[in-house]
Amino acid sequence: MRVLVAGVFDLLHPGHLYFLRRAKEMGRELIVIIARDEIVLKEKGRHPVIPEKQRREMVEGLKPVDRAILGDKEDFLRPVEEINPDLIVLGPNQEVNEDELLKKLRERGMKSKIVRINEKYECELNSSSKIISRVLELFGRD
């Protein structure tokens, strides 16, 4: 079974690894779509700390990941169509309406199923935002 996840994956942390391991357990091949820098800026109002090509390289180097690719700048479903996954796995922080996504997939002739992993990996620094706050706390804003 081909499994697909997508995300920013800026400042990798144990929560990312937990999510990727769980997704990999659901199939034989795990492919990750990395959000483009300009899309992150548009959706989050800030640039990622790590540039997209480096984020892709880092994620692809993780043991659970078979392949990582950069997303499309105009049509987020284009790479999904090309990959044609059996399963799309969403994480607990992804604000995606599953019914709307499923409808868009069906409109394009895809039969992918969608699963959400709701549990988070609990640790002190389990999000990129927490890591950024910690760095600012330790080293100031200069």
pLDDT in tens, 26-63: 999 999 999 999 999 999 899 999 999 999 999 999 99
So what's the pLDDT on residue 120? Answer: 82
So what's the pLDDT on residue 119? Answer: 87
CATH of domain 2-139: 3.40.50.620
Mean residue pLDDT of the chain comes to 94
Q: Domain-by-domain residue ranges, the chain?
A: 2-139
The model's pTM: 0.92
So what's the pLDDT on residue 132? Answer: 86
- Mind giving me the DSSP string for the chain? -EEEEEE---S--HHHHHHHHHHHTTSSEEEEEEPPHHHHHHHHSS--SS-HHHHHHHHHTSTT-SEEEE--SS-TTHHHHHH--SEEEE-TT----HHHHHHHHHHTT---EEEE--PPPPSTT-SHHHHHHHHHHHH---
Is the Cα torsion angle 80, 105, 37, 72 positive or negative in sign?
A: positive
